[in-house]
Amino acid sequence: MAYLNVGKENSSNIELYYEDHGSGDPVILIHGYPLSGASWEKQIPVLLAAGHRVITYDRRGFGKSSQPTTGYNYDTFAEDLHKLVTHLKLRNFALVGFSMGGGEVARYAGRYGSKDLSKAIIIGGVPPFLLKTADNPEGVDGSVFEGIQKAVAADRYTFFTEFFKNFYNTDLLLGKRISQQALQASWNVAASASATASLACVPTWHEDFRKDLTRIDVPTLVIHGDADRIVPLAASGQRTAKLIKGARIAVVKDGPHAVSWTHADEVNSELVNFLGTGVAKKAASARR
């Protein structure tokens, strides 16, 4: 278990919990709302076996990280990520962001550029811009996000129960691609998150990442389920792939929002093919 101090709130340190496993080219996995780094459990062993160093961390307010009442905006999230990269002295690293984590990938590139960044992967990400505005008619009406905020403020535990139904498309996939126990585990992680973070993150979902995406100049893969009810493919993944020069999109047939769990085999195959086989794996093969 490791923690990184990324700031202070009054007398308390703000610390990010992170895990750092394996060796080879680093891959940082950035989780979605309202989960934690543990949500990557179906990807971690596959990436380790492919010879990568795999790093996960919990966003401030979630998982085992500190629960401050400040810093719930993408500039701060990207700064937290940059502090982790700097602390670990990472070189030639890849960023993989799911849902909200796709926003960190975009904002990190927008603020810090591509120095030492080798590749980027966005899975079911919130970019490029989910809010409907005069110059973004494809977006979602602001009243939708306001309604979500009211639901979270009124009773976040009930909200999480309803949210996860569409997160995993349980009406179609429960008992087939996700178990009741795994669904409950997700709810338990969400319930342990900061009440402040649970509410404050909602308006960040419609951050405008359009300029950030145009700054991504490394090989990029976008993975998105075509049955995503949380962040629809047409409003996000397809548009993101068009804004990033040379990006490739992989659409997961019948995939819900959380394809990294329900369609882990498909996602893992795309990840390994795109990231390649790490140095450690190559060295092991050479010894045989």
Question: Which residues are part of the catalytic machinery?
Answer: 99, 228, 257
What does the DSSP 8-state code read for residue 39?
Answer: G
Residue closest to 22 by CA, chosen among 281, 261, 285 = 281
Q: What is the C-alpha to C-alpha distance for residues 202 and 21, in angstroms, rounded to an integer? A: 31
Supply angle C-alpha 106, 252, 275, rounded to 5. Answer: 55
Q: What is the C-alpha to C-alpha distance for residues 165 and 162, in angstroms, rounded to an integer? A: 5
Residues in the chain: 288
Q: Which long-range contacts (CB under 8 A, 24 or more apart) does 36-42 make?
A: 36/62, 36/63, 36/64, 36/189, 37/63, 38/63, 38/189, 39/98, 39/186, 39/189, 39/260, 39/261, 40/260, 42/260, 42/261, 42/264, 42/267, 42/268
